Amino acid sequence: MSNEKMFWADQIVQELKKRIETDPKLKSIYKKQGLLVYDEKTPSGHIHVGSGRGWIIHDVIAKSCRDIGLNAKFALASDDIDPYDKPNKDLPKSFDKYIGIPFMNIPSPVKGYKSFADYYFRQAVDKFKEIGIEADIESTGENYQTGVFNKAIKIILDNADKVKAVFERIYDKPYDKLPFNPICDKCGKIATTFADKWDSKKELVYYTCKKDLVAWVEGCGHTAWTSPYNGGGKLPWKVEWAAKWFSKGVICEFAGKDHFTKGGSRDVANAISLEILDFPPPYPSTKNYIGKAYEFFTIGGKKMSTSKGAGVSFADAVDNLSPQILRYLLVRTRPWAVIDFNPKGTNDLILLFDRYDRTERIFFDMEEVDDREVINNKRIYELSHIGKIPKKMPAQIPLIHAATVMQIGGDVSSAIKILEDSQYIKTLTKEDKEIVEQRLADAKKWTLNFADEQHKFELNKDAKGIKLSQNQKKALKDIAKALKKKISEKELHQKIYDTARENNLETKEVFTAAYKALINKEKGPRLASFILTIGKEKAIKLFES
């Protein structure tokens, strides 16, 4: 199969395989530890769902590698040694005293967590099992403390003049410090320390905790020589990125487009990786090309921010959307395409559920499409499915219909009975029952959290007091009479139109009368289907009253 016809993740895997086979250094790393797909996130607050895009991309690449027999894993690191650099809007002012201190050294705002960093990071990664992400979870701070980065730190500090040259070449302005940020021995801050001397024999850095180094927090003025190893501090982010690749043996790591701009963090990290650490930058970068980043995931056109608390959190998205559908959205969209998704008050979520159902039908050969679409959809289904893939086509209920029966029944068991009574579903296997229950639960979440008013209703207990014309009342009684006999949805639909003509009414007037009698609204779900879903006896009672 040509690369052009392959699913996006499988194309990437073929390129990774080729790199390992043709680069002696990567071949040696792969032989020693396998193919490491890496990512990281600073836990500065509630992590937004946009970060989940990178996690799913990396998870899918690692899974696709394993599908062709490569030894591959995905690891995600919490950049918990980064400094707390601005007040968190969710926390009291008392936390402002920790500004400038590494997140891992700040107490958790909630009991039961090791630190500020642990609390916010776990809100996201504890949801990984629900959304099907398989990842080794790491702490960047712990990697520093256990000496994982010691070798890279020494190389960087021994070649500080080369690091300076890289920064000055890319940014065209002076770089006047050592590329290392110690943790102040006195006040514990890392944001305010300025290192300007490196004793390569004693392997110590000299720093000052400056009062005016950054505008947002003051240092304590302390000066000292300190070891840069085993958690004594951290490398600046752009240098640290390259040090991670070198130290961990990273072969693949994407990032968002904000990092891949000309002169951005990836540009600097690539240069340091190549020129100082002698390590090939991970895919999608090459020695001569920065590579393509993945695009943003926006909600209603708005970019999200963890530090500002802007947007929908990853944990909330998994809780309030279907994890299966959220994973499907992130898998099916090529990384290089923007995702703008707004579940609230739009049809976005309805369409997404419909597309997932179509992909599932294609996977089980229940819908005819061309060969390329078959290949793409089958791969999307395999990589987006959470848990074991069913052996046969599961029961399907469109989101809108599931929402309708949930609002009529009020709970899952009553909704299933309505589906059975209306013969929408027949005897369910244990597996199908679980799938139907999940779809009904998803529909309830959608109705409560996202649906607009036209999709919400409450069934009338009686229709007394509903104001209708005599002709409308007569039309409803005619429909009620027809319902007392065996009638199909198609026949009922036609009867509604015939009744309007027979009673000198516009069709719209009959529909309005029926919806008012049933749910006291002028519009609602597709009428014939809705009447049969409610149950003929209930509809007859309301129409006749």
Locate 296 and state its tokens: 């943003």
Beta strands 204-209 and 223-226, pairing class = antiparallel
Question: Using 50, 70 and 90 to split pLDDT, how confident is the model at 454?
Answer: confident
CB 316 within 8 A of CB 305: no
Alpha-carbon gap, residue 451 to 403, rounded angstroms: 10
User: Average model confidence (pLDDT) for the chain?
Assistant: 94
Give Rg (Cα) of the chain: 30
Tens digits of residue pLDDT in 206-228: 999 999 999 999 999 999 999 99
Taking residue 294's Cβ as centre, other Cβ atoms within 10 Å add up to: 23
Give one DSSP letter per residue of 232-277, joined into a string.
SEE--HHHHHHHHHHHHTEEE---BTTTSSTTSHHHHHHHHHHHTS
Report the percentage of the chain scoring pLDDT > 70: 97
Apex 243 CA angle, 237 and 248, nearest 5: 125
Torsional sign, CA 125, 130, 131, 137: positive
Beta strands 204-209 and 193-199, pairing class = antiparallel
Q: Residue 424 forms beta bridges with which residues? A: none
pLDDT at residue 541 is higher than 50: yes
pTM: 0.93
Alpha-carbon gap, residue 314 to 128, rounded angstroms: 10
- Mean pLDDT over 116-141 rounds to 98
Locate 327 and state its tokens: 């994973």
Count Cβ atoms within 10 A of the Cβ of residue 465 and give its class: 0-12 exposed, 13-18 middle, 19 or more buried: exposed
pLDDT score of 209: 98
Which of 24-33, 125-134, 274-283, 523-532 is predicted with the least confidence, judged by mean pLDDT?
Answer: 523-532
pLDDT at residue 426 is higher than 60: yes
Question: Using 50, 70 and 90 to split pLDDT, how confident is the model at 423?
Answer: confident
Alpha-carbon gap, residue 304 to 341, rounded angstroms: 12
Residue of 331, 408, 348 whose CA lies nearest to 417: 408
Alpha-carbon gap, residue 289 to 282, rounded angstroms: 11
Taking CA atoms, 418 is separated from 212, 270, 383, 404, 406, in Å, by 69, 60, 33, 10, 9
Alpha-carbon gap, residue 345 to 338, rounded angstroms: 20
Tens digits of residue pLDDT in 265-277: 999 999 999 999 9
Report the percentage of the chain scoring pLDDT > 90: 88
Tens digits of residue pLDDT in 285-316: 999 999 999 999 988 776 655 555 446 899 99
